[in-house]
Structure 1
Amino acid sequence: MKLTKFTHACVRIEKEGRVLVLDPGTFSEVAEALNGADAVLITHEHPDHIDVDAVSAVILADPRLQLYAPDGVAAQLRAKAPDAAERIHTVRVGEDFEAAGFAIRSFGGQHALIHPLIPVVANIGYLVDSNIYHPGDSFVIPDGIDVQTLLVPIHAPWNKVGEVVDFVVGVRAPRAFPIHDALLNDTGRGLVEGHVTRIGAKYGTEYRRLVSGESVEV
């Protein structure tokens, strides 16, 4: 499979002519990421993970496109794009389903805590083809499966460096790449990635930085 990173939390996965996109949010190059996409997975409702206007326009314009999201996001998109409602699917935790020829398993349930006064929203992590795991905004570790490719939220209002490292160590995937990094400058990125690279290697994880638009075979 070919994995392409876009700015922040958006990734594009391609295999055998099929395209799956995760979390095309307002920080990301949505039009480029969704170009030719067959299916979209959304982890949660925050705008940096779903550009509602842009995604609604694309799903209305492309009658092939299928979208999968937690209930609240799916309902919002159905209201925004009623003509595409039958192609907007609700995902619940613990489900196995197929999207555009990719085998998907869902994990988690809720967004990581930002602050007690900020409501916690639904968040679903997706495992794609028993290989790539996108956790959204959470550090939920998939149970009963060996992740091969981990997408790591390396910086967010809800995490700290120690939690990022513990997540990488807990999953112990052979390879890991960054997501959720748009708010970092080069100094902060170097600090976080240095810890993830060094400590992750002790537990068998090779961490590699990907810049926006860069692709890798996984």
Structure 2
Amino acid sequence: MKLTKYTHACVRLEKDGHVLVIDPGIFSETDAALADASAILITHEHADHLDSDAVAAAMRGNSELVLHAPAGVAKELRKKEPTAADRVKDVEPDSDFSAAGFAIRTFGSQHALIHPLVPIVANIGFLVDENVYHPGDSFTVPDGVQVQTLLVPIHAPWSKTAEVIDFVISVRAPKAFQIHDALLNEQGLSFSEGHVAKVGAKYGTEFRHLAPGESVQL
């Protein structure tokens, strides 16, 4: 499986001629990420994880493209692009399904708390092919599985560095790469990633930074 990192929270997975895209948001290079996509997974409704205009256009232009998202997100996307309504699927927590030849398992149900006055929205974490775990905006730890590749929300309005490190320690994936990094400048990113890499290594996790557009084979 090939993983390509795009700016912020978007990743593209390719296997056997199929393309799965997770969280193409407004900070990401959505045209490149969604090119020839077979399926899209959306963790939650926030614009940095869902560029609804770009996604609707991709659904309109590709009659084979299927999207999976929490029920509220799916409902809004059906309204936005009625011609693709039958290809927009609701996703429930703790479920299993197939998307474009990839085996998907879901974990968690809520976005991490930003502030008591900011409403909490639905958030689903996706485990792809028992390998890559994208938690969306949460630190939900998948139960009953050994994650091989962890995508780490390195910085967010809802987190602090200690929580990021604890998440990496709890999951203990052999490999980890950063996501949710667009709100940090180069110095801040280096600072946060340095802590994660140093502590994660003590617990068996090799953390590596991926630049936008960079790919790795898993």
Confirm or deny a common fold (TM above 0.5): yes
Aligned to 1:91: 91
Aligned mates of 2:51, 2:69 — CA distance in 1: 13
Unaligned runs of 5+ in 2: none
Q: What is the letter of the counterpart of residue 160 of structure 2?
A: K
What one-letter code is carried by the residue in structure 1 that aligns with 2:29? Answer: E
Alignment-derived partner of residue 44 in structure 2 = 44
Asked whether 1:185 is paired with 2:185, we answer: yes
Distance (whole Å) between structure 2 residues aligned to residue 139 and residue 171 of structure 1: 10
TM-superposed CA distance for 1:187, in Å, is 1.0
- Map of 1:55-134 to 2, 5 A cutoff? 55-134=55-134
Deviation readout 1:119-139 (Å, 9 max, x if unpaired): 000000000000000000000
Residue 172 in structure 1 maps to residue 172 in structure 2: yes
Deviation digits for residues 30-88 of structure 1 (CA, Å, limit 9, x no counterpart): 01000000000000000000001110011011100000000010000000011110000
Task: After the TM superposition, list the runs of 4 or more consecutive aligned residues in structure 1 that deviate by more than 4 angstroms.
Answer: none
- The Cα RMSD (Å) is 0.4
Give the deviation of 1:190 after TM superposition: 1.1
What is the percent sequence identity of the aligned residues? Answer: 66
Q: Secondary structure at the match of 1:110?
A: coil
> Between Structure 1 and Structure 2, how many residues are aligned?
218
Hey, what's the Cα distance between the residues in 2 that align with 1:190 and 1:64? 40
TM-score (norm 2): 1.00
CA distance in 2, matches of 1:94, 1:75: 20
Q: Give how far 1:186 is off.
A: 1.1
Gaps of 5+ in 1: none
Matches of 1:103 and 1:38, distance apart in 2: 13
Displacement after TM superposition at 1:15 (Å): 0.6
State the distance in 2 between where 1:53 and 1:18 align: 23
d(CA) in 1 for partners of 2:61, 2:164: 38
Match of 1:18 in 2: 18
- Match for residue 209 of structure 1? 209
Task: Give TM-score scaled by structure 1 length.
Answer: 1.00
